[in-house]
Amino acid sequence: MMNFVVAFVALVGAVALLNLLLTVAVIRRLRDHESRLAAQTGSAAGPNLLPMGSPVPEFDAVDVDGTAVSRESLAAGPALVAFLRTGCQPCERLLPELIAYAAATSAGRGRVFAVVTGRDAASLVQRLGEVATILSGAEADRVAEAFTVTGFPTLYALQDGAVWAAGSSIGQVSAGVPAPA
């Protein structure tokens, strides 16, 4: 009988050890998956960002106030272009920092552009309207296509019509936009 108890305890211990090893392996895989997913959603390591120094692509659009926006609009000095999508959690987390930075930018609303894609963009448009030039709807989709944006948020700092910096956070692109006043 004692041998049976010892064998049973050894078996339970072996199963528990196997369970622990499998759990550690699953956690490692989840962390790897999370980092790969972050790289695909617009981070600096993402494959779909325009290369530094490349010219701003050609596009013509109209902002929500009815003003024409084009490649030439962005070439008149430093500018920040933020591509956001409604329902995007990373975009929501970026929004307060983007609004604060845009409000403090010395060049003002005319040099910060928010391209808002997705449905029900009214909330984002309202929140950004005081500090940025907003493109929404089909206009935003055209601009996002011109910039080949596939991940959100994506930010571009532009200087004299060329990409100065790109990434998914203000910190990654802040060197390329006008300094805060």
How much is the pLDDT for 34? 74
Asked if residue 77 and residue 23 are part of one domain, the reply reads no
Q: Is residue 86 part of a domain?
A: yes
Range of the domain at 78: 60-176
**pTM beyond 0.75, yes or no:** no
CATH of the domain at 95: 3.40.30.10
How many domains would you assign to the chain?
Answer: 2
Residues 27-57: tens digit of each pLDDT:
888 888 776 665 554 443 345 788 888 999 9
Asked if residue 102 and residue 26 are part of one domain, the reply reads no
User: Cα separation of 12 and 7, whole Å?
Assistant: 9
